[in-house]
Amino acid sequence: MTTSAATKNIRDGNARHLAVDLAVIGSGLAGFAASIFAVGRRIVTAQVGNTGAVAYTTGYLDLLGREDGSRTDVTDPWQALEKLAADQPDHPLANVPREDIREAFTQFTAFLGEGGLAYSRPGERNLTALTPAGTVKQTLCVPATMAAGCHAYAEKSPCVIVDFKGLKGFSGRQVAANLQARWPGLATARIDFPDIMTGEIYPEVMARALEVPATREKLAVRLKAAAGEAKIIGLPAVLGMHRPDLVKAELERLTGLVIFEIPTMPPSVPGIRLREMFEQVLPQKGVTLIPQQKITRLNFDADGATLSLADSFGPIELRARAVILATGRFLSGGLEAERTGIRETLLNLPVVQPDNRNHWYRDRYTDPRGHAIHRAGLAVDRAFRPLGSDGQPYDERLFAAGVILAHQDWIRGRSGAGIAIASAYKAVAEAEKFLSSRS
């Protein structure tokens, strides 16, 4: 637990006490986005949650990549949002004004950039980005280390996809074989990673090794040889962990090539970059971060909310005047799928869901219409307050954000980051309104 000067931290026998204005529960993109926006508005904030799952992020920030039920790509997300608002008024993205979504993405990517991970700013259209399977997808913002890949694809520039001996699940041949129809100038080459001759190798290991200048020099020699006549090369995402922009720039300097990276399957580097950066930078910005613990109980009383948790030293009681619930879905434990139904795990809030589990999944996995289980979640009012069983907000101090919200399918819609960032922005704005109305 990192302490910040702004929080009051009192030792009381066994339990440690903290008091903040805003408590964010959840350590996914929505939780971190909420903290970022809260910091921007100078709200005294604590964030709690088990961090692990943010490491699965690919690095791409999808606002809206596909229209529901269709197999066609969304190239203009802003326009698609208009249609979405008309067709699906309960969708979380329908309830955040477009200017706010744009502002949210701008602030979020600016924060990432200040934290050492440069990102492209949200544009007017989606970017077509590469995947490790040799398919492409629509996304709004990409890490600067990946941007040249989008550009090379758009231009169909001659390019060599370089992969590494020992790296499983990433095959340059596969990428080239599947893109060759659209991108004939694509070739592939395999190289060794410096100092690792046998056995398997993880992207994380390569990325960290490239933080050391000597490793970069050795790799540059191999990259130049692999590039041949091409001026642009694509790699799996291994361009450093802490300072990817520096690593990329240095390799480009050493090789004279333009270099971009492509996300890999888990365990992948871009997600780890985000996790490590958030965990270091947010405390520096004044957020009290307790990143490895889950809340065991959340109570509301006349004066505020109490969040109970514990670390290896014993109990911690966190008092907050407002709470944002951004605990995610099944993977992160915000929702639990039981045989009898889907349950929200912290407060047992009512979950909008199919009437029984027969209807959770369609028969065909890749059905473009997606599966109803993913649309289950928390219903919220216009202020992003989750509803209780009477259809009214559960508590005026409780807000919800992220993919725990109902009426969206972030997987099929390619809208995970969009929902997380936009709803977090709105939830924080509403929480701020509430807090100032009570101060």
Q: Contacting other proteins (CB under 8 A), which of 296, 299, 356, 392?
A: 356
371-410 binders of other proteins (CB under 8 A) = 371, 373-374, 410
Among 128, 180, 308, 345, binds other proteins (CB under 8 A): 180
- The interface with other proteins within residues 51-80 (CB under 8 A) comprises 52-53, 55-56, 58, 60, 62, 66, 71, 73
Q: Does 363 contact other proteins by CB under 8 A?
A: yes
d(CA 124, CA 309): 43
Q: Is 345 a residue that touches other proteins (CB under 8 A)?
A: no
Q: Which amino acid is at 135?
A: T
Phi/psi of residue 213, nearest 5 degrees: -55, -40
Residue closest to 57 by CA, chosen among 269, 338, 304: 269
Tell me the closest approach of the beta carbon of residue 361 to other proteins, in angstroms: 5
Q: According to CB under 8 A, which residues from 224 to 253 bind other proteins?
A: 241-242
Tell me which H or E stretch contains 300.
strand 297-301
Identify which of 23, 93, 5, 52 has the alpha carbon closest to the alpha carbon of residue 293: 52
**Closest distance between other proteins and the C-beta of residue 200, in Å?**
5
Among 83, 151, 208, 218, binds other proteins (CB under 8 A): 208
* 177 part of the interface to other proteins, by CB under 8 A: yes
**25 in Cβ contact with 346 (< 8 Å):** yes
- Based on CB atoms, which residue is closest to other proteins, 300 or 330? 330
**Rounded CA gap, 256 and 333, in Å?**
46
Q: Which of 212, 253, 348, 438 binds other proteins (CB under 8 A)?
A: 212
Piece of 84-92, 133-141, 251-259, 422-430 that binds other proteins (CB under 8 A) = 133-141
**Residue 416 binding other proteins, by CB under 8 A:** yes
Residues 284, 282: Cα–Cα separation, whole Å: 5
Residue 13 as a binder of other proteins (CB under 8 A): the answer is no
Radius of gyration of the chain (CA): 23
Q: Among residues 104, 124, 102, 100, which one has the least CA distance to residue 112?
A: 104
Cβ–Cβ under 8 Å, residues 46 and 320 = yes
| CA 339 – CA 360 distance, rounded (Å) | 11
Q: Which is nearer to other proteins, 147 or 428 (CB)?
A: 147
CB closer to other proteins, 271 vs 304: 271
88 binds other proteins (CB under 8 A): no
